Amino acid sequence: MSLPKPMMRGLLAKRLRFHLPLAFALSLFAAGIVKFGVTEPRKRAYEEFYKHYDPVKDFEEMREAGIFESVGPSKE
């Protein structure tokens, strides 16, 4: 016949040569998105929150709302 001989060898190597770098790139990209879209904003949010956080005031507010069992609202 006049057909050319098909590729007999190196089929996996050929596939890996393309897909392996692509897989690495996509994984790094996904990790980058998570880092800069999720973890960094979260870290900043916590930093911001605790900059001016007063735990005692927080506790008093919760106490007044009456959610605790060990201590009730302050008696006026």
Partner 1 sequence: MLASRALSLAGKRALSTAVCLRGGHGVAKIDSYALPTYIDERDTPLPDICYVQNLSPDQVSLKEKEKGSWAALSNEEKIALYHISFNQSYAEMTQGSAEWKTVCGGVFFFIGLTALVLFWQRKYVYGPVPHTFDPEYKAKELQRMLDMKVNQVQGLASKWDYENKQWKK
**Residue ranges in contact with partner 1 by CB under 8 A:** 1, 42, 45-46, 49, 58, 61-62, 65-67
Query: Cβ of 63: how many Cβ atoms within 10 Å?
Result: 15
* Token pair recorded at residue 2: 């006049």
Residue 51 vs 75, nearer CB to partner 1: 51
Least distance CB 65 / partner 1 (angstroms): 4
Shortest Å distance, C-beta 12 to partner 1: 16
Burial of 51 (0-12, 13-18, 19+ CB in 10 A): exposed
- Least spacing, CB of residue 2 vs partner 1, in Å: 9
CA 55, chain centre distance (Å): 27
